[in-house]
Amino acid sequence: MTTNQYAEPPPRVTLGRRLSTFFYRHPRVGLAVLLAAPVGWLVVGYLGSLFVLLLASFWDTNPFTSEVVHNYTLDNFRRIIEQDVYREVAWRTVRMAALVTVADAVLAFPIAYYMARFASTRTRNLLVVAVFMPLSASYLVKAYAWRTILSDSGAINWGLGPFGLTFDGYSTTGLWLVFTYLWLPFMILPIYAGLERIPQSLLEASADLGGRSLRTFYRVILPLTFPAVVAGSIFTFSLTLGDYIAPDLITSQQFIGTVIYDQRGTNLPVAAAFTLVPIGVMIIYLLVARRLKAFEAL
Amino acid sequence: MSRAWKRPLGSMALAGFVVFLGFAAAGCGSSGGDSGSSATQIPGLGSSLDEIKQKARDEGEVDIVQWAGYAQLVDEFKQETGCAVKTKDGPTSDDMISLITSGQYDGVSASGNASVRLMARGDVAPVDTDLIPNYADVQEGLKNQPYNSRDDQPYGVPHGRGPNLLTWRTDDVTPAPDSWSVIWDKNTPYKGKISIYDDSIFIADAALYLKATQPDLGIDDPYQLNEEQFDATVSLLKGLAPNVGEWWGDYAKQIQSFANEDVVIGTAWPYQVNILKADKKPVEGIKPKEGTTGWSDTWMIYSKAKHPNCMYLWMNHMISPEAQALVAEGFGEAPVNLKACALTKNKDHCDDFHAADESWWDDVYYWTTPTADCGGEGGTCKTQEDWVNAWTEIRG
């Protein structure tokens, strides 16, 4: 071979090559093309629907046919603010969401703690499966099952019967139980992940400095996992805030979700306006959660 | 994240939003503004029965919104016409309106409180009854009623009618009641065990009770209430609310509650009473002495139906004597085609449900839509919107 290996003929300028050169020279354009689809989806699908929701809350309805009329009005907001029932329902729902979150945190922490710190690999794997198993069953099946359990002739009252006690299952307390059950896995996982992330050396350091187990727990473990608890609470809180099926099946009381569901067919703008209440509550919640560094624990 | 990453994201988001606004504006421009016309011609509908049958073979499908248990002889219908029937149950009239206006369905079994609104909105089309042979057998007294026609133009075919029953467990409720007072009395012994239909139309049941017990309010039609009558009715309902054990929208939920004794008395369709009785539960349902609310339903065709030919055949099918006999007994209602009376399993069914006895229906007030002009009677009445709004307050 006599030809110089460095004197290779220049590569043919194909379209693909030209494109890649272009993107190499204009990295921002390359990035834009790459992200156009997902960002477009986010903007149109997520923000767009929120925008329509906001718009719809200013619309009016025909009082006879319930058809949406595109006249702009503030009546929907006036109604939500002036009528006590909307405030009561909103307050009731937020209270429920808070109570469910607290109950889930109290239940989830020991389970997650055991999984992360004490369980053997085998037990831990079993527990992870056990925690997530209920998530594979349909939400409706679980809600209807609870309806049967909470019934006057259901399992709970059957168990209480011999002691002369009865439990009114179709009540706010009953609903609280159902929500606590339904969302528990969403609390366990972030706490478990948070506990896993604490290096063993920190606990040893605490012990070396004279910290006993209880003190180590309060001064080291709890502060370090708190962001994870807040992260889990985002799930339990928001899922409770928006749910309408369990409240409808278990209680005779109205919650934010059931009011929106009932109004959506007959007065869509009022439903849209009321939707802004849980959105507002969640925005505040997320701002607080960010302050508490929950986003880093997600 | 460096700044270089952030910038294009921001500008892309902005661009996307502008594009989206464009779409939204275009969408707003094209929607709206279609009012009811009285042309019976739906695009694609055959002009004769033979042509309809032929075209139905090509459509091969009909999608209907129905009250649970209405569709009958679905397999036979498919064999005969080639149209497979897909049903969707609507728990309340409002849900049915939402469903049919979604554009996914060809027809609906609408009660009066839905049918009046659907006609006014132009969501259902007038019907050429010459193309529906069984229409000739429908009881004359049910044709061209305000809830199934406009200006003597039929907007569908009558399906059947029935009462909402005062229903109770005979082992828990003694003596057997004959009046609605057993649920309306604030000191009712069945506090927390009452089952009430969860829809604003139930306000009419309270108005009906006041019509009988407080004549000085001057309530005539329980669906058309002036301010004073409405306030009295709502206040009666607010007194009932704490005593209610369960608000039902889903009939299956109500059946479960009656079966488990979570509720022992309430309002139910004859359908639930039939199922509970068939299941050997000690349940009874009656029309109390004050009368009751009820329904007279109509099969209607969506004005932009994708399978109009199958839907026409379906309307004809549902008022055939065979289908009428099955649905009348199955759901617990009076057939509109009296030829069905010879085909029911219980030969007394038509008598039991007073199919031909018009006087029995005098104090059954069929569901209809409350309107500002009091149903055309003059005066100022509370509207559908007021009813819905009040219902949210009553539920609390």
Instruction: Give the residue, B276 or A8, on which the prediction is more confident.
Output: B276
Q: Report how far residue B165's alpha carbon sits from residue B186's, in angstroms, rounded to the nearest whole number.
A: 20
Exposure of B329 in the CB half-sphere (CA atoms within 13 A): 18
Nearest CA in chain B to A259: B392
Question: Nearest C-alpha of chain A: how many angstroms from B289?
Answer: 28
| Pairwise CB contact (< 8 Å): B20 & A51 | yes
pTM above 0.95, yes or no: no
* Per-residue CA distances from B172 to A251, B80, B84, B247, B385 (Å): 22, 48, 45, 19, 38
Q: Report how far residue A32's alpha carbon sits from residue B9's, in angstroms, rounded to the nearest whole number.
A: 7
Place of tokens 């039609």: B221
**Which residues in B lie closer than 8 A to residue A254 (C-beta atoms)?**
392, 395-396
**Which residues in A lie closer than 8 A to residue B98 (C-beta atoms)?**
264-265
Span B5-26, pLDDT tens digits: 444 444 444 444 444 444 444 4
Task: ipTM value, please give it.
Answer: 0.74
Given this model, what pLDDT does residue B32 score? 36
pLDDT class for A77, splitting at 50, 70, 90? very high
Span A242-295, pLDDT tens digits: 999 999 888 888 999 999 988 887 888 999 999 999 999 999 999 999 888 888
Given this model, what pLDDT does residue B62 score? 95
Q: Which of B7, B24, B262 faces A170 most closely, judged by CB atoms? A: B262
Phi, psi dihedral angles at A78 (to 5 degrees): -60, -45
Phi, psi dihedral angles at B194 (to 5 degrees): -100, 140
Q: Which of A32, A252, A266 faces B247 most closely, judged by CB atoms? A: A252
Q: Report how far residue B30's alpha carbon sits from residue B47's, in angstroms, rounded to the nearest whole number.
A: 30
Which is it for strands B244-248 and A60-61: parallel, antiparallel or unpaired? unpaired
Q: Report how far residue B339's alpha carbon sits from residue B358's, in angstroms, rounded to the nearest whole number.
A: 17
Given this model, what pLDDT does residue A294 score? 80
Given this model, what pLDDT does residue A3 score? 53
Instruction: Give the distance from CA B134 to its chain's centroid.
Output: 22
Q: Which of A39, A63, A85 faces B372 most closely, judged by CB atoms? A: A63
- State the 10-residue block means of pLDDT for chain B, 396 residues long: 43 46 42 45 87 93 93 93 94 89 93 90 92 93 89 92 95 93 93 93 96 93 94 95 90 91 94 92 94 94 94 95 92 91 90 88 91 84 90 90
| Pairwise CB contact (< 8 Å): B117 & A61 | no
**Which residues in B lie closer than 8 A to residue A259 (C-beta atoms)?**
392
- In total, the C-beta contacts within 8 angstroms joining chain A to chain B are 123
Question: Nearest C-alpha of chain B: how many angstroms from A192?
Answer: 28
Given this model, what pLDDT does residue A2 score? 54
A180-199 average pLDDT score: 93
